[in-house]
Amino acid sequence: MSYTKLTYYVCFCIPRKFKVTVAEAPLEIKKTFDRFSENGIMTVDHLQSFLVEIQGEDEKTSKEAAQDIIDNFKHLNIFHRKGLNLETFFKYLFGDLNPPLSPTLGVHHDMNAPLSQYFIYTGHNSYLTGNQLSSDCSDVPIIKSLQRGVRGIELDMWPNSTNNDVDILHGRTLTTPVELIKCLRSIKEHAFSASQYPVVVTLEDHLNSDLQSKVAKMVTQTFRDMLFYPGSECLEEFPSPNSLRNRIIISTKPPKVYKETTSLEEKKNYPRNEKKSTEEEEEEDWGGEVADDLKHDFGIHDQNGQDVEEDHQYEEDQHQSDPEYKHLIAIHAGKPKGGIKQALREEANKVRRISMSEQELEKTIINHGTDIVRFTQRNLLRVYPKGTRFDSSNYNPLIGWMYGAQMVAFNMQGYGRSLWLMHGMFRANGGCGYVKKPDFLMNVDQVFNPRDNLPVKKILKVRVYMGDGWHLDFHHTHFDAFSPPDFYTRIGIAGVPGDSIMKKTKTIEDDWTPVWDEEFKFPLSVPELALLRIEVHEYDVSEKDDFGGQTCLPVSELRTGIRAVPLFNRKGVQYKSVRLLMRFEFV
């Protein structure tokens, strides 16, 4: 075993030297190498056997894959001309060539079904750079979202200060505006940089008919052939993602004359100057623990009990609405009116989109969960954060997904555990921003209820061998000024209530390359919706434990076998070196 040395200063006067061990193969990896090698060398044939028997890879393609792996190490001094020795085998297992999700799988879901049969990577208030009350509005977060693969962009349209143009901002707050045209141009430029599948632009409309006409001209002149026009006033069925490749879809309420509600600012009563404790701010950074139970915090409501967002009064006056603007709307939207049964009714020759706040959804599923599942089999449901999330935090997205909600809208500029789940879900299907809903959510005869006592379909076995890379990506005093870090791993499942659980390894003290070698079993009743949650923390006896990395992976696409799992920071940016060595098995 080789070492590097880091020096720590105790009481700023006495230097103490702590050794940082270079990562060494755990005992089980050594035994595996011995099993698939001869005289200390793993040949192409040996490696092929390992790929098939342990890694679960296809026998037809594994011979070529084995040769490619060996060829990747030919330039190293440690390479042996006949194959891999233990050191190079361990380097392969713990390296970039061995991720937990297939880098070549790409888009593999059926993309020819209607849009209603997909979960869609959706943003909320996509123009905000920070909090919901006073941050700047910009096209930059829109660009970042599109580059990440987000397919749903939301723009709140308001008249500018002179009422002759259109601004994008979070209305009746202190957010500074950005021009609509700037946002549209950025959407056009970056819409398909990460995915060729359609971008849904949700417009929250606070405009008169003259400005609606101006918006229609801006949209048509900016997007031109990229814009999808519906063939009729209302679609009878949504088109498929495949048929809408490289197209932009407009979704908003049909135009009506806007009439402002009075005293809405007073009704919101935003606590602009509240100070939070350091502990509260840190908890927001992590996002708090994701709630598995459905709590009924109904947030801010107006005098009619409606959530503030999208709560505007309109008067029917089709003569004063702009016909060109109306012609642009491919996905007709609205909020539930006249009772939830009426809102979720089926219409034979018409599909539409409705929106609910997170707490409206939580309240509705108590008595109408199966109605929501039925509604989302043909129609779209958009869920957005409750009005009290001033800090741009998010909610548990599984609450929407397990009832078929396609557009679970998130504040992408924030970070925290809920957003990590969102990132995890849309790592599936090649990261294209569309994930096909499980078949059981489309079953019209037996409507799925995630609250039922469901049988276990499979068990996921996860072994956490070890971690490495922190000494390369962090300063040596980042975790502890006087000693090496004390790492532990939290691992678990986010899914339907019966599957959701978190477990924890032991803490390994004073070690930059901790070896846990612990196994966990997770019974899964709905593996199709399950996300594997992984977090590493550094134990601190006197303060809040330090954050050491996280990732979230769709269980449906996990590669079995021994894999190198890269970790990400709080904002979802991958660390250069930090990763875990893990093994995944389904039984």
- Residues tagged active-site: 124, 170
Angstrom distance (rounded) from CA 5 to CA 20: 6
Residues 195, 247: contact at Cβ < 8 Å? no
CA 153-155-160 angle, to 5 degrees, is 160
How far, in Å, CA of 488 to CA of 505, rounded?
Answer: 6
**Per-residue buried b or exposed e for 165-179, using 16+ beta carbons within 10 Å of the residue's own CB:** ebbbbbbebebebbb
What tokens does 218 get? 């801006």
**From its phi and psi, is residue 487 left (phi > 0), alpha (psi between -120 and 50) or beta?**
beta
Nearest to 370 by CA among 338, 403, 335: 403
Taking residue 213's Cβ as centre, other Cβ atoms within 10 Å add up to 17
Asked if residue 151 lies in contact with residue 201, where contact means CB atoms within 8 angstroms, the answer is: no
3-state secondary structure of 217: helix
User: Coil, strand or helix: which one is 156?
Assistant: strand
CA neighbor of 381 nearest in space, from 427, 449, 335: 335
The answer to whether the CB of 530 falls within 8 A of the CB of 552 is no
Nearest-CA neighbor of 44 among 96, 75, 95, 80? 80
Structure-token pair, residue 24: 């060494």
Strand blocks (E) in 447-530: 458-468, 487-494, 501-504, 515-524
Host H or E run for residue 314: strand 313-315
CA dihedral 130, 132, 134, 140 (to 10 degrees): 40
